[in-house]
Amino acid sequence: MIRLLGYFFGIGVVLALVAAAGVALYVGNLTKDLPDYEVLARYEPPVTTRIHASDGNLMAEFARERRLYLPIQAIPDTVKEAFLSAEDKNFYSHPGVDATGLMRAVITNLQNLGSDRRLVGASTITQQVAKNFLLSSDQTIERKIREMILAFRIEQAYSKDRILELYLNEIWLGLGAYGIAGAALTYYDKSVNELTVAEAAYLAALPKGPSNYHPFRHTDRAIERRNWVIDQMHANGYISAEEAERAKATGLDVTPRRRGSYLFAADFFTEEVRREIIARYGEDALYEGGLSVKTTLDPQLQLYARKALQNGLIRYDTLRGFRGPVDQISVDGDWGVPLGEIEALSDVPEWQLAVVLEAGENQVTIGLQPGREVSGTLSEERETGTIAVDDMQWALRHMVDGRRVKASSPAEVLQPGDVVYVEEKEDGENAWQLRQVPEIGGAMVAMDPHTGRVLAMSGGFSFASSEFNRATQALRQPGSAFKPFIYAAALDNGYTPASVVLDAPISIQVGNTLWEPKNYGGKFAGPSTLRAGIERSRNLMTVRLARDMGMDLVAEYAERFGVYDKMSRHIANALGSSETTLMRMVSAYAVMANGGKYIQPSLIDRIQDRYGKTVYKHEQRECSGCDAEAWENQPEPELIDDREQVLDPMTAYQITSMMEGVVTRGTATTVSELGYPIAGKTGTTNDEKDAWFIGYTPDLVVGVFMGYDQPRPMGRGSTGGGLAAPIFKEFMAKALEGTTPVDFRVPDGMKVVAIDRKTGMHAEAGQPGVIMEAFKPGTGPADTYWVIGDMQGSAQAQEISPEADRAITTGAGGLF
């Protein structure tokens, strides 16, 4: 018997050894190609890039996975306790696998055999880290064993806090949010430090299946799961019974954070920054790199720029009459449903969509789009209002079969079912004004001339309507706005503001034809000073001046200022016929405003990586001594500015002074009403296809452009002085409000001499027609009357190469 027992024992031992060997072989086979868990030490998850305005306001976030990485020390205890209660209450005591939980899960699954219930898991947080980072999500025994083995190894290599940190930053929590910081912002629009017990518990309920506990589609299920987490927090001793009951008594109160741009009116600016980051670092850096980008945007100036540009575009557009409704729907029955399906301009909240219910002789009855803001509140009711005939007077001139006709009443313009834009009047309840999206395009840029920081930029009427940025992407002819660079080149090369150039007809042979540029209006003034030429924007004088200097010199200065990378030497380009962008023009004017220093325009002040290290900064000037810890009677720190001097400071002041004359006596006198020292220049091209005004104070440069996206005439009289300058004026009135006027700084050594405005010769101060003019040392008014261009061009034709023909004949008008 004993021998028999020994025999069976031996067989059992052999079988056990064989089984153990088989298990060891099986496990060894599973572990031989396990992923290297040491990659966790180098873990860099995709993190959200955040873009901020200069005052710290959040402008936009860009991410493929909306995640903000937080070290474990920055995660509040309440949040950690909620997740531990929901996922792994024994996390800090087990070695990676919770044996008790595992046995409980096995028993439960055996009991549920044959039922439709899903298998119960027993994964610890460490196992979830192993699965999420190193393995697939396959529901197999092999993957589970590999997961457990990796969990043991991870526990031996990393601290519990590190493992929990990885888990809380990696998990997917629905609505595109990854990690606890991203989820707090996505679900509640707040930081993790602001989460309540109820909010933390709800987020902790989501890892089991975010779609199963969706806050809006499965609200009851979500609250039930959240309350279970709260009960677990109480059972584990993290919160009191009173706190638990108080938390369970609240609703989910989820307030999803909207995506895209967060700062109103900054869409064009944000999109330009997005493109620049992609160009600089690539898409992965933008959408996964966790960059922190501080831009140059001044939010208040941006609001002023948006409004001024919109008002200017609307002013022009309404003078051209009404082009018709946005859409048309049936007003039989519930008109709110089809009206609500039409998408309004999201970035023009002042306007609302409305449907015409009735059009009469003196007014129009309208129905407002449901869900839109009415008198400061969101409305789902079928709100109605009226448009008086006086509030749509401009629309009585409307388009019929391509012709503009005059209507006698609103009923001839609008019909029931027409969908239109309206804006609520300030002085009347439920009284509205008719609006339409301008067909004309335009842009505005405001820049700090000393640093090149772009403070505001509006690329059109509405980003929602058209994402095309006319400030940076539209190539347009600058017309006479280019003339200051020709005059600056002249002043830098021996001419003075009092030099006299002939303003008279000129003919230039181009191939087999004659090019005969003209002044705006067709008149000419005879011999005139350079100052008079730029103040009155004389084309004929500019052509003669460019010929006298040579187009090689003109092109050199245009390239030096950054107007063009490579400018053609054709004489027609002296009148601004070669295309450039508004951003380049504003940057070039900034050189004259800052005393001749080259500047590189920038929308970004600084970029930091996910660890806070600065990887880019726009400011390259050095300040020796600025970082001193204390004042010890050392010399005052000096900012070393080694930027290229592209223009003599004295020349910069002279051309600035001459452009002050454009504002006080020339083509932009409307701007002088601001009462501040402002220099600037208007610009209009052939057939009034482009209208410009670029002006500046000592500390702010602003450029405005208007024109159709597909260039076509804007109508006689549509000049830079009439269209662009009023927009500049409206913006500057707000931007300069409350500031003290500052004169342009006169460089040391400049002489101010009284001269006759017409002849440019010395005169007695205080006499009629006498002005004070600035001269460089060694220069002054001419002793004899000498006219540049006299006997040149008016009777004789200069031969021009055929290659110049196209540049000349395609619109080198260079008007006002």
Residues carrying an active site annotation: 87, 480
Residues 471 and 739 sit within 8 Å (Cβ to Cβ): no
End-to-end C-alpha distance for the chain, whole angstroms? 122
CA distance 755 to 766: 10
Q: Is 642 helix (H, G, I), strand (E, B) or coil?
A: coil
Cβ atoms within 10 Å of 562's Cβ, excluding its own: 20
Cβ atoms within 10 Å of 38's Cβ, excluding its own: 11
Of 604, 592, 701, the closest CA to residue 654 belongs to 592
User: Quick one: DSSP state of residue 666?
Assistant: S
Which helix (H) or strand (E) covers residue 509, if one does?
A: strand 508-510
Residue 470's identity, in one-letter code, is R
CA distance 771 to 757: 6
Dig out the tokens for 715 from the structure: 């109508």
Place of tokens 């999206």: 437
CA distance 705 to 441: 8
CA distance 69 to 178: 9
Q: DSSP labels for 421-467?
A: EEEE-TTSTTEEEEE---SSEEEEEEE-TTT-BEEEEE-SS-TTT--
Which helix (H) or strand (E) covers residue 228, if one does?
A: helix 219-235
CA distance 183 to 165: 15
Residues 459 and 471 sit within 8 Å (Cβ to Cβ): yes
CA–CA distances in Å: residue 694 to residues 26, 575, 579, 701, 727? 78, 16, 16, 7, 11
Residue 779's identity, in one-letter code, is T
Residues 6+ away with beta carbon under 8 Å from 70: 165, 168, 169, 179, 180, 181, 192
Of 407, 336, 396, 395, the closest CA to residue 366 belongs to 336
Q: Is 520 helix (H, G, I), strand (E, B) or coil?
A: coil
Q: Is 273 exposed, middle or buried (0-12, 13-18, 19+ CB in 10 A)?
A: buried
Strands 787-788 and 500-503, bridge-based pairing: parallel
Q: Is 121 helix (H, G, I), strand (E, B) or coil?
A: coil
Dig out the tokens for 495 from the structure: 């001419």
Which helix (H) or strand (E) covers residue 420, if one does?
A: strand 418-424
CA distance 523 to 502: 13
Dig out the tokens for 352 from the structure: 């609302």
Q: Is 337 helix (H, G, I), strand (E, B) or coil?
A: helix
Q: Can you state the angle between helices 219-235 and 77-87, rounded to 10 degrees?
A: 100
Strands 679-684 and 751-756, bridge-based pairing: unpaired
CA distance 484 to 375: 48
CA 813 to chain centre: 33
Residues 124 and 98 sit within 8 Å (Cβ to Cβ): yes
User: Quick one: DSSP state of residue 113?
Assistant: T
Residues 561 and 652 sit within 8 Å (Cβ to Cβ): no
Strands 787-788 and 751-756, bridge-based pairing: unpaired
Dig out the tokens for 752 from the structure: 């101010």
* Alpha helix positions (H), 625-718: 649-664
